[in-house]
Amino acid sequence: MSITRRPTRQIRVGKVAVGGGAPISVQSMTNTDTRDIAATVVQIQRLSRAGCEIVRLAVPDQEAAAALARIKAQVDIPIIADIHFDYRLALAALEAGVDGLRLNPGNIGGPGRVKAVVKEAAARRVPIRIGVNAGSLEEEAMAAYGGVTAAAMVASALKHVRLLEDLDFYDIKISLKAAEVPLMLEAYRRLAAEVDYPLHLGVTEAGRGLEGAVKSAVGIGILLNEGIGDTIRVSLTGDPVQEVAAGFAILRSLGLRRRGIELISCPTCGRCQVDVEGVAARVQQDLQDVARPLKVAVMGCAVNGPGEARQADVGIAGGPGFGLLFRHGRPVRKVKEEDMARALIEEARRLAAEEGEEENAHE
């Protein structure tokens, strides 16, 4: 059953279309000091290799703003400048050639300053993301709606939207992030019924590792399944490359995007006769750089193993001291248990390369 996505306007963040039926893009944010150009470029390049399609950079001062042009010249994915409080940083970021701004028009000064930023963004055809966060909601909205509520978050977003619309600016996308999943869900649902702008989904301050990924998958996944959302960021404490992997895993699980390895591995039980966990961990680690969509199975016994392995693009089903390697449903050969991971990795890489060559031959 396919998901019917909510119709929206389309904007462009550099080369990436957002909304209007475009593929749901995966974003991340650097955690380097933007003023450290070399370190920031290295991290963006790592994110790009992992599949990141848009990257956001913190711009806390003029030195960081001045670094943007040099960073942008060395990377090939769109850059969004994250701006707070000082409208001059937004103007400097635009002059540096950024592909998008993330700001709240209400906290960068009076109408004249907002107008200056919007005029420059419009001239450069640079979109603006209005980012509302439950943790920094303005006092006015909380007072009017009884605290940090979904209604207050939506009211805040709409107030900022009207500021831009009054200046005849419509290249807008919106986020309504909260650390509490139910609050985030209600806010996005309410906003989706009010406007047709593309929405950027995320659970803010989700945490680290497994817990953060689960919270993000629940919040983002529920909305995506309802057709809401045009671009996503999984916010995790630590290496932002993991955010990209989690983002594509969420999209892949709903059939919305296919990129990289989808690992299928059994949970193990008393029937298991090989080290499924060890093989799966090595396979996932060694194939993380493969961009071509492949379903790879690591199964541990003869009950469900052969069937699951056959349904994958490549797979291995364990037996007592050996594994049976499958490719597109057909057995290839038996391998010793100690060679299972290596054999599966080699077969997966071979298949990815062959399918890539075949695709190029038909272009």
- Between CA 182 and CA 187, with CA 184 as vertex, the angle to 5 degrees is 105
Query: What secondary structure does DSSP assign to 210-221, as a single string?
Result: HHHHHHHHHHHH
Rounded Cα–Cα distance for residues 16 and 24 (Å): 10
3-state secondary structure of 171: coil
Tell me the two tokens of residue 178.
Answer: 């909260």
Rounded Cα–Cα distance for residues 45 and 41 (Å): 6
Rounded Cα–Cα distance for residues 94 and 104 (Å): 16
- Between CA 209 and CA 293, with CA 280 as vertex, the angle to 5 degrees is 85
Rounded Cα–Cα distance for residues 51 and 292 (Å): 11
**Residue 141 contacts residue 149 (beta carbons within 8 Å):** no
Is 308 known as a binding-site position? yes
Rounded Cα–Cα distance for residues 96 and 121 (Å): 12
Rounded Cα–Cα distance for residues 24 and 173 (Å): 13
Tell me the two tokens of residue 72.
Answer: 């942008």
Rounded Cα–Cα distance for residues 60 and 82 (Å): 8
Is 266 known as a binding-site position? yes
Is 272 known as a binding-site position? no
Instruction: Point out the annotated binding site for [4Fe-4S] cluster.
Output: 266, 269, 301, 308
Instruction: Point out the annotated binding site.
Output: 266, 269, 301, 308
